[in-house]
Amino acid sequence: MKIIELTQGNYVVNKEKNFSLFTHSTNTSELKMAIRPFLIITANDFILLDTGINFLNNGEPLLFESLKKESITPEQITKILISHLHKDHIGGIGHFLGNNFKENFPNAKIYLQQRELNFALTQENNPSYDFKVLKYLKTLPNIVMLNDNEGKISDAIFYQVSGGHTPFHQVFWLKENEETIFFGADNLPKLSYWKLNLAFKNDYDGLTALSLRKKWKKVAKNKNWIVLFYHDIETPFIKVAKTDFS
């Protein structure tokens, strides 16, 4: 499998969940993070893991710029796996031309949790969500709603509802040729989450997220997983060895 980082930049996030670009010289105590969807190319698919934020540059989605650098078109994406519906993970699913919503990846099947969408639609006053985008999700013809707690999307793609960061947050494993890629999304957004071993207040259920991270660390070491970090500024992914985190 080939891993391509579709980095959209590094951001400072304030309490109102507004994102602004920053550089290493930016002096702030606010939360700093990368926004980095991943493209995984397998024998049969071009798989997008989350879709980033809905910022445009000269009228074009940031994600398109990243794809162009890899000589990949949006039409080549065959599957999109959505971990949860916070605006920095779902915003790149489409963009607005005036009052019209245009889907960014018309040939891709989009896999998301029905219960995650149901919950998100109750959070109208929560700045983590972009209702302007959410209201269009159910209307897209290529949405595949998942309802089970775990399952198999294809011979290479497996999912599980983890909870933790959001009530129905889900994680994914991609497996091919004895290689396993793990995407823990916002339950494991940075390498430091393994090193700090803490529960975080910004999670819906921080203790569950912490417990899962401990479990994943043990299995990742035994199985030599490649682990992706969506928000880590310095470390996009690692291949976990048995000696790591000892």
At 27 the pLDDT is: 61
The domain of 144 spans: 2-239
Q: What is the total count of domains within the chain?
A: 1
User: Shortest CA distance to 18 belongs to which of 87, 91, 98?
Assistant: 87
Average pLDDT per consecutive 10 residues, the chain (246 residues; last block may be shorter): 93 84 68 93 97 86 91 96 97 87 94 96 92 88 96 97 97 96 97 89 92 95 95 93 70
CATH number of the domain encompassing residue 12: 3.60.15.10
CA 94 → CA 16, 89, 105, 132, 241, distances in Å? 23, 12, 8, 11, 38
At 58 the pLDDT is: 81
Give a yes or no: residue 124 inside a domain.
yes
Give a yes or no: residue 184 inside a domain.
yes
Reading the block at residue 216, the tokens are 């994943």
Task: Give the Cβ contact number of residue 35 at 10 Å.
Answer: 23
Q: pTM (2 decimals)? A: 0.94
Q: What is the CA radius of gyration of the chain?
A: 17
At 91 the pLDDT is: 94
User: Shortest CA distance to 229 belongs to which of 208, 213, 205?
Assistant: 213
Give a yes or no: residue 213 inside a domain.
yes
Give a yes or no: residue 245 inside a domain.
no
Strands 10-13 and 31-34: antiparallel
Give a yes or no: residue 30 inside a domain.
yes
Give a yes or no: residue 106 inside a domain.
yes
